[in-house]
Amino acid sequence: MCAGCGVPGAGCCAACTAEFARPSRVVRGPTADVAVYALGRYDGAARRLVLAFKERGRRDLAPSLGRVLAEALPYLPEVRPDRDGVLWLVPAPSRRSASRVRGGPHVLRLARACAARLVSAGNQVAIAPALRLTRGARDAVGLNHSQRAANLAGRVRLDPCGLPPPGTPVVLLDDVVTTGATAAACIQVLGDGGFPVSAVLALTATG
């Protein structure tokens, strides 16, 4: 059954998949120096699909959602591979407690589905789970930008076990862009570590 509209059949029907159009630029103050894109508004069927995948155990949606991300990446002019022609994807981190409930980091699962689609099309792709959230970060639902920024301050860290080679340009993937605070924190930490973020791509954006 489609998680977006309830029609019998595929987990994400063609009509609901169409909610994720070509990437559109999202303007968020704290991420002004890096291009941020989203495929749709966090509303209607797109929102229901993201929530079903993220919060309601619909892991079967990963291939469909990963596919729309993979199809969008060639349209991002800022995206570039490393010197060996490999495109590196970094999933936005999740709180450990949330990941336990969701059966693992959901954006990492999304990145893997996206990478698999790109590889099947002949691209060289690698995933770098380079970021982690330390303890103390709380659920950001309902927080405004300043509250989200304070919630993340000092809590987004590089994970030594998931880093790409030094100097590698990366694309940050996420499910929803709200105030831009999460993207900004991730961009800052990655950049400070020597991993420039060429672009941010999310399934949806609020507003």
What are the tens digits of pLDDT across the range 6-26? 999 889 999 999 999 889 999
- pLDDT band at 148; cut points 50, 70, 90: low
Which residues, 6 or more positions from 151, have their beta carbon under 8 angstroms from its beta carbon? 137, 138, 140, 143, 181
- Pairing, β 156-158 against β 170-177: unpaired
Interval 137-161 mean pLDDT: 70
Q: What is the DSSP string of 12-80?
A: S-HHHHTTS-S-EE---GGGTTSEEEEEEESSHHHHHHHHHHHHS--GGGHHHHHHHHHHHGGG-TT--
Mean pLDDT of 168-182: 94
Domain 20-205: CATH class, spelled out: alpha beta
The whole-number average pLDDT for the span 1-9 is 93
The model's pTM = 0.90
* Euclidean distance between CA atoms 174 and 92, whole angstroms: 5
- For the chain, which residues make up each domain, given as ranges? 20-205
Rounded mean pLDDT, 16-45: 91
Q: At 97, is the secondary structure helix, strand, or coil? A: helix
Query: pLDDT per residue over 80-136, tens digit each?
Result: 999 999 999 999 998 665 555 566 789 999 999 999 999 999 999 999 999 998 875
